[in-house]
Structure 1
Amino acid sequence: MKNLLLITLAFFSLTAFGQIDSTATNLEFDEAAYQKALDSINNSFNFQQGKITLGVDLATLSVPTGFKFLDGEQSQTVLTDLWGNPPSECLGMLFPEKTDIIGENFTYAIEITYSEEGYIEDDDAEDIDYDDLLEEMQESALEENDRRSAEGYPTIEIEGWAAPPYYDNETKKLYWAKEIKFQGEDINTLNYNIRILGRKGYLNLNAISDMDQLGLVQQNIDQVIASTEFNEGYRYSDFNPDFDEVAAYGIGGLIAGKILAKAGFFAILLKFWKFIAIGVVGVFSAFRKKIFGSKES
């Protein structure tokens, strides 16, 4: 399934736009061929339900009711070959059950990854002023904008918390959501983050979509948070100070993304599905309306 997007675009360009008549003034959009190309992609993936082992016995995911799971290999095909992201290690993805990978009914998806950056001490969790932390993050984003513009990326602004950070000391789970404004976009972006702390790092469940999907994401977020646990040997409580490394940051640094920012986090944030999965169909639809007009016209 390598380079699915390129194959689809080639197929679409050859079949979906019909023929130019002798006067070269009449183009016909083939809706059936267009939908066939999308269906071909969506039907080529095999989803799973039930209990899923993530990594090499790293963690267990109990697929929440109303969701479907795509394994790591297929998820990499989606993220890299279909959506055009740089290669990266992915444990899998969760999709709402009625959501296609690509199409007009796409809402959001959750990528699951693991970062082995050490045991994250949570002593600072109760002392963090999240308003101050937000201001710091907003300033960092603005400082990155000159570089983003120079590299051809749109500028971004963090508008605020879409959901303020919350750390559950019992389950060692942290979650928050940001509202982000991308230059040139009418609808702001929702970036919903879930971190599950473990012995040597953390699991990252990350969803990016439009802000108008916030209600849908929040409707299901509790069961998504509860769905994933580290297995024995990798749990937070399994930490051994004699052998295990401690991360260079705590809860505040994890939320602020200090380490990620140094690695160019704000430069790569736009890689996700707001611009790819939703955007591909949006581009086709806009192009169709602009060039061909409506059926009535």
Structure 2
Amino acid sequence: MCSSPHPSTRRWDSSRASAPLRRSLRVDPEGVSRLLRCGQTASCRECGNPVEWYVRSDERRVRLHPHELPTDQVPESCRWHVSSGVAHPSGDGSTWCRVAHAVLCPARPAPPDAPRLSGLRRSLALCTRRLLDAGLFAPSEAPAPGGPNPGEEVCRPSRPIVQLLFVRYLASCPVEEIQCVTQTRRRVRCTAKVLGPAALRGAWTLMPVTAQSGQLALPSDVMAVYSLSALPYQEQLRWRSQRCPQHDATPTAGDLTVADWELFDPLRHHEHVHTRLPTHRRRPNPGSHTRRRTHL
């Protein structure tokens, strides 16, 4: 008597044999917080395209393109790889790699050593154009509504330097636009601002540009800093945790993303150093319009 083999979808006891599905890391939808320390999805403030935030080995954060690219299309100096949730600025020896979003961002100049990435840059530029046409994206350089009177210009830095708890940080957006990172009951990010209408405000001041020991001196002597040192200790803690006044009074509310603060380094962030206070307004020179008419 010859036994017939059981079907491939059944085991010897006639139970269904199904291969276990590979499941990626997910967050419990019923959890209080949906905060992940790596691979957080966000949108670029300059072009509106999706990016992923990762932490580097030196605790700095970097924005990477959400998808992997073949290594033969990416220059060696532009390759990144992620290992154990940490991003490293090099290749890992495989045929695929990650790329920093700054290399592909259509709002920034194209790097001369990456000509094979021009096609992907054009695709991202088309996505930015669609978002602009649909009214779903506004560049961060756009002036805020309710600003100064017509004919006046406020020198407001797009990424101000903020001092709180005796540490200087580089913000990702203007002080008035820093958004709360708390998750609401509808499981979306809170739309309130950290600098609420009734919140205590800091003060713009000029502070010396200090570099680390052993580094060359910077050409600028002073820089504009939004100082929160005069605020109470609990208020500075609220700013560092990037919470609005309402959610700061609710400690059980979870965070949806990490705070956008980046430790300020005067050498790496020298382009964000401003030598005059943004509270001063300047009017355009009326003589410039007269001279322009004479050339027409």
TM-score by length of structure 1 reads 0.23
Structure number with the higher helix fraction is 1
Larger radius of gyration: 2
TM-score by length of structure 2 reads 0.23
Higher relative contact order (CA 8 A, sep 6+): 1
Structure number with the higher strand fraction is 1
